[in-house]
Structure 1
Amino acid sequence: MTRNAAFKVALIGASGLLGRAIAKELAGVAGWTLVRTAHSRRDAQSVKLDIRDAAAIGDFIGRESPDAIVVAAAERRPDVCENDPALARALNVDALRFIANAARDRDAWVLSISTDYVFDGSAPPYSPDDPPSPVNAYGRSKLEGERALLESGAKACVLRLPLLYGPVLDWSESAVTSLTPAIVKSSAPLAPAAVMDAWAIRYPTFTPDVAVVIRQMLGRHARGETISGITQWSGDEPMTKFDIAQRIARVLKVDARLVAQRTPADSTPRPRDCHLDSVRLEALGIGRRTPFDSAIASVLARYPEPTQTLKSQ
């Protein structure tokens, strides 16, 4: 695809943890125009869009006529998906179908974010071609969303990602940074120890790195080298939440009292190890990985204040 006009990207879900990183990465690309959307957490630079509204999506894509659409909006909380499957379906399946149908009519490429939770975690590492087998409602909804997109007839690509962390508006925004208050509290005199999961193996992945991957994928599309089907990207450092907590404690220089929980304790079932094979993108020269210790140090540099504030958004 070669166009004389500026390359236009629509970023749907620009206000979330990953969406903000993508918006920052794409904002300065010469010759590209970025249109951002958000729903409840909208700023002056974003268009308000409810992705559950098919007509609104059609109007937005028809009006903006983007060359590419990045879908970073979703319901990502496993417990919420388990307790409200209708909401999970509306945001993770139906909305993606609406976007895909509108994109197909405008010949726009859609890049949608998915998850490692489409796998059951019993036989890692997983390639894009391995058969999915999700163990919870979140994974099932994301898998159904992948299929809705890829079967829509639109130009489309799925990017599966694992546990994400990065600059946050609130420490609870990432399952990595959400551990921090309990870690710090456990270091206080007479405070109880913080119990941390030491069963599930995760591969925390830095959102600014993912944003670089997405920019590189968009760049290939802009040059007429469109990537289709399923792709995956992941950090390469395996660790449990107990391991993550120990590293956070070292960064903050607190004498945390941590207890390892070596059996599953979550009410919603979660897979044990869904390590994603990133070889397809690596073979294309795509990717960047920031070492966890340096990345989490940058995120925690202003603890206890988040790295950004709601007022700035």
Structure 2
Amino acid sequence: MFKVAVIGASGLLGRAIVDELARQPTWQVVGTAFSRPAPDTVPLDVRDSRAIEQFVEREAPDALVIAAAERRPDVCERQPELARALNVDAVRAIAAAAQRRGAWTLSISTDYVFDGTHPPYRPDSAPAPLNAYGRSKLEGEHALTATTDFGCVLRLPLLYGPIVDWAESAVTSLVPAIAASASAHGQPASMDAWAIRYPTFTPDVAFVIRQMLERHAAGNAIRGIVHWSGDEPMTKYEIAVRLAEALQLDAHLTPQHTPTDATPRPHNCHLASERLEELGIGRRTPFDTAIREVLAAFPWRGDTAV
């Protein structure tokens, strides 16, 4: 029996990982949650290093996947201590407990470790984060590699997938404004048309992670840093247009061609995924197919989009 612990199993990515791994008949999956505990998850506050140590000792997993994080750039700017606790200190504590156990650790990082000026970025490209979120995730990468030699960092770009509320993904968070702009008295919605993103479907990421775990189970664990990314470049405006089409809404959208975010964001952090592709790892679902699947599974009322 191969046992995997998913830290942060109640989140957008964590749920997709658990769903994918639970399909493996000879694998055992244990998930942890904090803000959204469920009957099938273990309560765990990753800011409590002793609780992490006890969890790993008790469950004795063969591998741990760290999907818990503070991923909202604006929150990281306002609360750098929270960002550090979740994105750096927790990674270090989990990696230390895994190292003592002899378990492989996979930590999720972000394309925001780069400044977006010279894409595409490879795993050995020089990081240069522009905001507190990117800095905290880069520190988290260093915390992992300094704590264990039996681990891997998986950098990912903008994620979307099955949701529990619109705000859970920066992709679906656009829906209320899109719907409002399509209403009888709605004002046009201004959408960023400057930053180029690569929306990546969480079930595809979970598939990639399962393939990585299979290599570990076979004695060929991947170490160091790897990237995975969708391959369709889009601005937020272009994402909104395609969302409106999927929702069959006559939305009134205005492209904004200069950055307007209070928190600085990179222009284009396209991640090169060749290292995993060369290992035969990967899956990409077309955006229009995947987003329709997400929207079909999440009920909404056209008048309010909630």
**Given the alignment of the two structures, is residue 58 of structure 1 paired with residue 22 of structure 2, yes or no?**
no
CA deviation vs aligned residue, 1:243-282 (integer Å, no higher than 9, x gap): 0000011111111000001000000000010000000000
The 4+ residue runs of structure 1 with deviation greater than 3 A are 302-306
Q: In the alignment, what sits opposite 1:163? A: 158
Q: Give the alignment partner of residue 210 of structure 1, picking from 205, 209, 219.
A: 205
User: 1: CA distance between counterparts of 2:275 and 2:220?
Assistant: 14
Matched residues in 1 for 2:112 and 2:94: separation?
22
1:183 partner amino acid = I
Q: What CA deviation, in whole Å up to 9, does each residue of 1:30-86 have, x standing for no partner?
A: 211101100120111100000000100000001111100000000000000000000
Pairing of 1:35-184 with structure 2 (within 5 A): 35-184=30-179
Deviation, structure 1 residue 302: 4.8
Please, what TM-score do these two structures have when normalized by structure 1?
0.95
Q: Quote the Cα distance in structure 1 between the aligned partners of 2:87 and 2:5.
A: 18
Q: CA deviation at 1:185?
A: 1.0
**Structure 2 counterpart SS, 1:301:** helix
Residue 282 of structure 2 aligns with which residue? 287
Q: What is the DSSP-based 3-state SS (H/G/I as helix, E as strand, rest coil) of the residue aligned with 1:276?
A: coil
Structure 1: stretches of 5+ with no match in the other structure: 1-5, 307-313
Q: Of residues 240, 249, 274 in structure 2, which corresponds to 1:245?
A: 240
How many Å separate the matches in 1 of 2:24 and 2:290?
23
Secondary structure of the equivalent of 1:33?
strand
1:188-239: per-residue Cα shift (whole Å, max 9, x none)?
1231001000000000000000000000000000000100000000000000
Distance in 2, Cα, partners of 1:138 & 1:87: 11
1:145 counterpart SS class: helix
How many aligned residue pairs are there?
301
CA distance in 2, matches of 1:28, 1:128: 30
- Select which of 250, 255, 268 maps to 1:273: 268
Could you say what secondary structure the match of 1:35 adopts?
strand
CA contact (8 A) 1:21 1:208 kept: yes
SS of residue paired to 1:43: coil
Partner SS for 1:179: helix
Q: Does the Cα contact within 8 Å between 1:119 and 1:133 map onto a contact in 2?
A: yes
Counterpart CA distance in 1 for 2:183 and 2:298 is: 16
| Residue 296 (str. 1) matches residue 302 (str. 2) | no
**RMSD of aligned Cα (Å):** 1.0
The aligned amino acid for 1:263 is: T
Tell me how far 1:304 sits from its aligned partner: 4.4
Deviation larger for 146-155 or 215-224 = 146-155
The whole-number CA distance in structure 1 between the counterparts of 2:149 and 2:224 is: 11
Q: CA deviation at 1:305?
A: 3.2
Unaligned runs of 5+ in 2: 302-306
Q: How many Å separate the matches in 1 of 2:215 and 2:195? A: 35
Contact 2:163 2:298 survives alignment (8 Å): no
Q: Is the 8 A contact 1:101 1:154 kept in 2?
A: no
The corresponding residue for 1:311 is none
The answer to whether structure 1 residue 24 and structure 2 residue 19 are counterparts is: yes
Deviation at 1:153, TM superposition (A): 2.7
CA contact (8 A) 1:107 1:154 kept: no
